[in-house]
């Protein structure tokens, strides 16, 4: 583009955020300074208020008003000490981001002045006007009330002078309107179910936490280029743009040294994250140019979900100080790797045992195997639902192409574990084992950690992989709220653990010894879930064929994939564990259909606008330039000389013309297709119509524009090109 050959501004923020009173501080000196965590609670709460809150958090009991009042007093004095002027309930509505409404602490006092006030009432509950948040029809606008309620299991924190209190968001009639409510219920369900299974192995286990470590991928784009691209501004992805001569083919970006301006940005957002208690650990360049990753140390799942969302927010804000824009879209650039958010997931007991990590005793390994096979079976049974939890318009562009796992929900467990499962399948039978057989089996099971040590194979093509001490759900998109996949995964596994307990108890009732009963059920689950295991290359075409033969599903259409939320099987699952009722499921699936429609609708409008108001006029100007040139030649030269000199120019004029005509007619047809789709009232029907009749134009129009980009005078081209977007840092 001709106008701004921009200059990247390298004024990496002069402020040194990790400097406290002039001295460089260690991370541990300021980690979580902005969080009302245990240590602050101990300091600012009375002894009985502190133990009261701790007990409620641990047991998941509701905090009563009296206790809330006491906590509010302490929280207020801490917040005021920290310079906070406002407080806000912070929640995750069913949109892409978070919501907050700030209230000042001040109130009039009886003398007409103001005082800071904040009570249990303010802490525990608020009634934001909920009518503008999506509910999928759960809430009629005439009963627009919704309320937010404090989630004490995720600590309050201060951002920009505002005390932010993590909350759930529900309608006045009690239906969940957010991501957090079902997640908390799912976490409670898996806690209960897992503790019961642990009882077979260790009576000291009284609580099981789900853990999550989310690896966040993202792109950075220079701010001035970003604002010159209406598609990026409006949709977070490039709707047009020809591939640059070089992108990721040399693999020279992955793990290479971090550019200086990017490094300054990373250090600053990390510092901000540390202040908020977000334990960031890893940073590196990703495969694509200008693509990066950040990963924290895993935490309890609910907290990790909050922290990931908060982190994304911090990154967006800090990036502006470095004149960058962060793109969390799953596929911002065509032909280049997209971004995911690997959800590393496991289960951890209050006794500090990772249930998906093999121990060094036969008993702990039986426990490990029990949890492993329950995971396999749950993923197999609810493969459609797991897929539904991660699909979106953006993620659909990433999935199935050759850098992201496909939409067949298979599991990679690694060669060694796979062999071991196969062996167990053969060795365990329904017959009573001899004491020798039993000892031998237990001894072999005890050897798992040793065999795992050299089990370093890492299959990066699998959407769901066992990585030695956890599972990695890789299909999650980079812009997603992890609550959605984490709710489904934990719910499905909770149900499986309940079933496991029942199956084992049934056998025990039939006088089978406990250990044998457990082995028999493990074997049954190995057989039942065998089809979900796949160790090969999930990107290959052969796998698609093989998976089909095995009966694994592969749904690439977003709407059809989302339908799985509403299947009888899914409804039963959510209902039986009281995670979401039918109305809630229908409501939130409706929101997802609607979100899909809106994304495509906006993209379609934007590309139409770029095409007609930027590309076509530019192409016409260029064509006029060519015509003038040809006319000039004709004037100057004889007929014969002209024929030689004009070369391919007449053809070029025709080619440009052809693209202009095609673009105009396709934009017209696309607009007509939108008009038809917009008349459809039903959310699902509309989304289907958009996917079947509008979506195709986006690629079609783009192909003409991208061809023009290669022909038209570079000085005249109105948009920054891929080589600029991807290589300026």
Residues that bind ligand ADP (CB under 6 A): 211-213, 215, 282, 295-298, 344-346, 354, 469-470
CB-CB neighbours of 186 under 10 Å: 27
Q: Which two tokens stand for residue 476?
A: 């999650």
Structure letter (DSSP) for residue 137: T
* Contact partner, 470, from Mg ion, ligand ADP, none, Cβ < 5-8 Å per class: ligand ADP
Q: Which residue is nearest to Mg ion (CB)?
A: 342
Residue 349's φ and ψ, nearest 5 degrees, are -90, 165
The site partner of 345 among Mg ion, ligand ADP, none (C-beta below 5 to 8 Å per kind) is: ligand ADP
Question: CB of residue 460 vs ligand ADP: minimum separation in angstroms?
Answer: 9
**What phi and psi values does residue 12 have, to the nearest 5 degrees?**
-45, 115
Complex with Mg ion: residue 421 or 465, whichever CB lies closer: 465
Q: CB of residue 285 vs ligand ADP: minimum separation in angstroms?
A: 13
CA atoms within 13 A on the CB side of 149: 15
Identify what 100 binds: ligand ADP, Mg ion, none; CB under 5 to 8 Å per kind: none
Burial zone of 2 (CB within 10 Å; 0-12 exposed, 13-18 middle, 19+ buried): exposed
CB closer to ligand ADP out of 297 and 650? 297
Strand spans (E) along 361-474: 411-412, 464-466, 471-473
Residue 265 or 345 having the CB closest to ligand ADP: 345
| DSSP secondary structure code for residue 533 in this structure | B
Residue whose CB is less far from Mg ion, 342 or 524: 342
Angle between helices 301-321 and 180-198 (to 10 degrees): 140
Q: What is the DSSP letter of 614?
A: I
Q: What is the nearest approach in angstroms of Mg ion to the Cβ of residue 389?
A: 18
* Distance of closest approach, residue 208 Cβ to ligand ADP, in angstroms: 12
Nearest to 78 by CA among 158, 21, 147, 150: 158
Which range of residues in 256-264, 342-350, 600-608, 688-696 is near Mg ion by CB under 5 A?
A: 342-350
Q: How far apart are CA 369 and CA 329, in angstroms?
A: 37
Rounded distance between C-alpha atoms, residue 515 and residue 366, angstroms: 9
The CB-of-305 to Mg ion minimum distance in angstroms stands at: 17
At what angle are helices 383-390 and 362-381 packed, to 10 degrees? 70
Residue number of the CB atom closest to ligand ADP: 213
At closest approach, how far in Å is the CB of 349 from ligand ADP?
Answer: 12
Count the helix, strand and coil residues of the chain and give each as a percent rounded to the nearest 5: 55, 15, 35
Nearer to Mg ion, 195 or 287 (CB): 287
211's contact among Mg ion, ligand ADP, none, with CB below 5 to 8 A by partner kind, is ligand ADP
Q: Where are the beta strands (DSSP E) in 394-549?
A: 411-412, 464-466, 471-473
Judged by CB, which is closer to Mg ion: 342, or 702? 342
Query: Which entry of Mg ion, ligand ADP, none binds 415, CB below 5 to 8 A by partner kind?
Result: none
Q: Kindly tell me which of 299 and 586 has the beta carbon lying closer to ligand ADP.
A: 299
Cβ-based nearer residue to ligand ADP, 223 or 403: 403
- Among 461, 475, 483, smallest CA distance to 342 is for 475
Q: 469 is in the binding site of which of ligand ADP, Mg ion, none (Cβ under 5 to 8 A by kind)? A: ligand ADP
- Nearest residue (CB) to ligand ADP, 342 versus 659: 342
Q: Least distance in Å: CB of 297 to Mg ion?
A: 14
Cβ(222)–Cβ(712) below 8 Å = no
Rounded to a whole number of angstroms, the minimum distance from the CB of residue 452 to Mg ion is: 17
State the nearest-atom distance from the C-beta of 342 to ligand ADP, in Å.
6
534 contacts which partner out of ligand ADP, Mg ion, none, CB within 5 to 8 A by kind?
none
By the rule CB under 5 A, 323 interacts with Mg ion: no
Site of tokens 């237990």: 442
Q: Is-contact 499 520, C-beta < 8 A? A: no
Q: Which is nearer to Mg ion, 41 or 399 (CB)?
A: 399
Q: Which listed option, ligand ADP, Mg ion, none, makes contact with residue 210 (CB within 5 to 8 Å by class)?
A: none
Residue 330 contact among Mg ion, ligand ADP, none, beta carbon within 5 to 8 Å by kind: none
Is 237 a binding residue for Mg ion by CB under 5 A? The answer is: no
Q: Which is nearer to Mg ion, 76 or 342 (CB)?
A: 342
Task: Please say which residue, 342 or 659, places its beta carbon nearer to Mg ion.
Answer: 342
Nearer to ligand ADP, 246 or 458 (CB): 458
CA–chain centroid gap for 593, Å, is 18
Token pair of 722, please? 């891929």
Residue 501 in contact with Mg ion, rule: CB under 5 A: no
Beta bridge mates, 289: none
Distance CA 729, CA 253 (A): 12
User: Shortest distance, CB of residue 297 to ligand ADP, whole angstroms?
Assistant: 5
Q: Which residues of 701-711 are buried (b: 16+ CB within 10 A; e: fewer)?
A: bbbbbbbbbee
Q: Closer to ligand ADP at the Cβ: 146 or 296?
A: 296
CB of 718 to ligand ADP, least distance (A): 39
* Cα separation, 489 vs 317, whole angstroms: 31
214 closest CA partner among 40, 342, 112: 342
Q: Alpha-carbon distance 179 to 198, whole Å? A: 29
Options 311-319, 335-343, 488-496, 715-723: segment touching Mg ion (CB under 5 A):
335-343
* Residue 222 CB, nearest approach to ligand ADP (Å): 26
Rounded least distance, CB 646 to ligand ADP, Å: 57
CA gap 294, 315 in Å, rounded: 10
Read off the tokens for 260.
Answer: 């200086």
Q: Which helix (H) or strand (E) holds 297?
A: none
DSSP codes joined into one string, 557-593: SHHHHHGGGGSHHHHHHHHHTTS--HHHHHHHHHHHH
Q: Which does 298 bind (CB under 5 to 8 A by kind): ligand ADP, Mg ion, none?
A: ligand ADP
Least Å from the CB of residue 286 to ligand ADP: 10
601 binds, among Mg ion, ligand ADP, none (CB under 5 to 8 A by kind): none
- Which among 322, 224, 327, 340 is positioned nearest to 272, based on CA atoms? 322
Asked if residue 702 binds Mg ion (CB under 5 A), the reply is: no
Among candidates 378, 393, 446, 419, which has minimal Cα distance to 562?
393
| 342 lies in the binding site for Mg ion (CB under 5 A) | yes
Nearest distance, CB of residue 342 and Mg ion, angstroms: 4
Sole window of 76-84, 245-253, 341-349, 634-642 interacting with Mg ion (rule: CB under 5 A):
341-349
Residues 165-204 that bind Mg ion (CB under 5 A): none
Helix axes 362-381 and 483-509, enclosed angle (nearest 10): 120
Query: And the tokens for 378?
Result: 């749950």
Please identify, using beta-carbon distances, which residue of 27 and 282 lies nearer to ligand ADP.
Answer: 282
Residue 341 makes contact with Mg ion by CB under 5 A: no
Binding site for Mg ion (CB under 5 A): 342
């Amino acid at each position: 583009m001709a106008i701004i050959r921009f200059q990247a501004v390298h004024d990496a923020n002069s402020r040194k955020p990790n400097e406290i009173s002039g001295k460089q501080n260690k991370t541990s000196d300021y980690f979580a300074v902005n969080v009302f965590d245990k240590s602050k609670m101990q300091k600012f709460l009375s002894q009985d208020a502190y133990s009261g809150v701790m007990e409620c958090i641990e047991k998941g009991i509701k905090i009563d008003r009296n206790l809330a009042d006491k906590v509010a007093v302490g929280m207020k004095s801490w917040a005021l000490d920290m310079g906070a002027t406002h407080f806000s309930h912070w929640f995750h509505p069913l949109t892409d981001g978070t919501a907050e409404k700030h209230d000042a602490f001040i109130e009039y006092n009886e003398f007409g002045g103001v005082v800071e006030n904040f009570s249990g009432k303010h802490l525990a509950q608020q009634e934001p006007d909920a009518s503008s948040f999506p509910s999928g029809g759960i809430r009629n606008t005439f009963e627009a009330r919704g309320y937010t309620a404090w989630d004490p299991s995720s600590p309050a924190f201060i951002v920009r002078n505002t005390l932010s209190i993590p909350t759930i968001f529900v309608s006045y009639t009690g239906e969940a309107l957010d991501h957090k409510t079902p997640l908390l219920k799912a976490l409670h369900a898996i806690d209960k179910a897992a503790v019961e299974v642990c009882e077979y192995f260790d009576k000291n286990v009284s609580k099981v936490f789900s853990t999550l470590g989310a690896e966040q991928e993202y792109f950075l784009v220079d701010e001035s280029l970003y604002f010159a691209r209406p598609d990026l501004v409006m949709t977070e992805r490039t709707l047009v743009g020809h591939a640059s001569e070089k992108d990721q083919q040399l693999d020279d970006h992955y793990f290479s040294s971090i550019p200086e301006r990017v490094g300054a940005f990373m250090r600053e957002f990390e510092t901000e994250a540390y202040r908020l208690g977000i334990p960031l650990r890893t940073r590196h360049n990703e495969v694509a140019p200008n693509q990066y990753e950040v990963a924290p140390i895993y935490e309890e799942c609910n907290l990790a979900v909050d922290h990931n969302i908060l982190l994304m927010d911090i990154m967006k804000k800090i990036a502006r100080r470095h004149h960058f824009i962060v793109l969390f879209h799953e596929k911002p650039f065509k032909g280049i790797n997209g971004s995911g958010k690997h959800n590393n997931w496991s289960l951890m007991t209050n006794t500090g045992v990772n249930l998906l990590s093999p121990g060094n005793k036969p008993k702990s390994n039986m426990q490990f195997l029990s949890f492993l096979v329950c995971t396999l079976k749950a993923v197999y049974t609810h493969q459609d639902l797991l897929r539904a939890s991660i699909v979106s318009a953006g993620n659909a562009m990433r999935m199935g192409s050759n850098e992201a796992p496909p939409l067949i929900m298979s599991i990679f467990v690694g060669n060694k574990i796979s062999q071991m499962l196969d062996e167990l399948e053969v060795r365990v039978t329904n017959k009573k084992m001899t004491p020798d057989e039993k000892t031998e089996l237990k001894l072999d099971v005890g050897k798992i950690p040793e065999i795992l040590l050299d089990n370093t194979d890492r299959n990066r093509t699998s959407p769901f992989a066992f990585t030695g001490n956890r599972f990695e759900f890789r299909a999650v998109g980079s812009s997603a709220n992890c609550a959605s996949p984490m709710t489904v995964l934990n719910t499905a596994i909770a149900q499986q653990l309940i079933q496991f307990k029942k199956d084992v108890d049934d056998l025990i009732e039939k006088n089978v010894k406990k250990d044998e009963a457990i082995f028999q059920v493990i074997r049954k689950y190995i057989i039942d879930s065998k089809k979900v295991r796949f160790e090969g290359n999930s990107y290959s075409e052969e796998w698609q064929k093989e998976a089909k033969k095995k009966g694994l599903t592969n749904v690439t259409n977003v709407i059809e994939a989302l339908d799985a939320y509403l299947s009888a099987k899914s409804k039963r699952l959510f209902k039986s564990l009281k995670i979401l009722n039918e109305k809630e499921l229908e409501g939130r699936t409706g929101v997802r259909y609607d979100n899909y429609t809106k994304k495509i609708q906006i993209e379609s409008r934007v590309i139409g606008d770029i095409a007609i108001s930027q590309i076509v006029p530019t192409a016409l100007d260029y064509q006029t330039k060519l015509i003038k040139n040809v006319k000039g030649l004709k004037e100057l030269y004889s007929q014969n000389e002209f024929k030689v000199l004009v070369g391919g120019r007449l053809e070029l004029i025709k080619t440009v013309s052809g693209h202009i005509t095609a673009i105009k007619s396709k934009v017209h047809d696309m607009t007509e297709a939108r008009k038809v789709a917009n008349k459809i009232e039903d959310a699902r029907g509309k989304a289907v119509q958009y996917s079947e009749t509008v979506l195709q134009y986006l690629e079609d129009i783009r192909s003409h524009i991208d061809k023009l980009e290669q022909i038209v005078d570079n000085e005249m081209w109105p948009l920054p090109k891929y080589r600029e977007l991807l290589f300026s840092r």
